[in-house]
Amino acid sequence: MNSEQDKKQKVLEHLFSFVSEHKKQKMEQVIDWRTRHLTVVLEDMFQPHNASAVLRSCDILGVQDLHVVESRNPFVLMSGVAMGASKWLDMHRYRNILDCINKLKKDGYRIVATMPGDSATPLPDLNITTKLALFFGSEYSGLSQAMMEQADEHVVIPMFGFTESFNVSVSVAICLQNIMTRLHDSKIKWRLTESERQNLLLQWVRKAVRNSEAIELQIP
């Protein structure tokens, strides 16, 4: 480790002394399954219940970053549904869909629009070897035309009933479950880097320790 990493590790170890062994082990267990190989983007979600349920799915299935586009509708959470998931995730907000897409492309993500349609790639056939950003729109209006035009690929969840679509939070959960299961079974390097692990653990333990800023100032 370099000097900066050494400093962070010292702070991390000191703050860990203020949490229970059970809490420390839980953080270390959870971070082993975190990924930035896959991320979720929500465009103009207006139903707080669904938005909050998506956060829970991201946390449960190991997706660290959630991107939220608020061109028309503000992103509102319901704490009783999110169950504290926002505390452990990194949320990125945008006012413009193109700003979001350009940022993700710059970070090496393939832009994937979820949508119904025979021309879209079935979810089980989606190539997961590269970093993926899955875009989901609202249940009524779907994804914007601007987003659809910028997508590298369209993907569809296979459906076999009369109803043409899932609830959006269910769609997110199905997609994440499918992709994360395949990643876990693959040789793809989907886990966080050592630097990302250290930074994220430090971020988490700072939230878990009361007055962490004051405690850090006392570290020699």
Q: What is the pLDDT of residue 79?
A: 58
Q: What is the pLDDT of residue 44?
A: 84
pLDDT band at 85 (very low <50, low <70, confident <90, very high): confident
Q: What are 91's strand-pairing partners?
A: 66
Contact (CB, 8 A) for 213 and 162:
no
pLDDT band at 77 (very low <50, low <70, confident <90, very high): low
pTM of the model: 0.90
Instruction: Report the pLDDT averaged over residues 100-113.
Output: 97
- State pLDDT tens for residues 116-166: 777 899 999 999 999 999 999 877 778 989 999 999 999 999 888 877 778
Instruction: Report the pLDDT averaged over residues 179-203.
Output: 96
72 vs 125: which has the higher pLDDT: 125
Q: List all residues 6 or more positions away from 145 whose beta carbon is below 8 Å from its beta carbon.
A: none
Question: What are the structural domains, with CATH classification, of the chain?
Answer: 36-189 (3.40.1280.10), 192-220 (no CATH)
Q: What is the pLDDT of residue 81?
A: 43
Based on the number of CB atoms within 10 Å of its own CB, is 26 exposed (0-12), middle (13-18) or buried (19 or more)? middle
Q: How open is the CA angle 116-180-186, to the nearest 5 degrees?
A: 120
pLDDT band at 86 (very low <50, low <70, confident <90, very high): confident
Over the chain, what is the mean pLDDT?
89
- State pLDDT tens for residues 2-33: 788 888 899 899 899 999 999 999 999 999 99
For residues 44 and 138, what is the distance between their CA atoms, to the nearest angstrom?
6
Of 129, 136, 135, nearest to 182 by C-alpha is: 129
pLDDT band at 196 (very low <50, low <70, confident <90, very high): very high
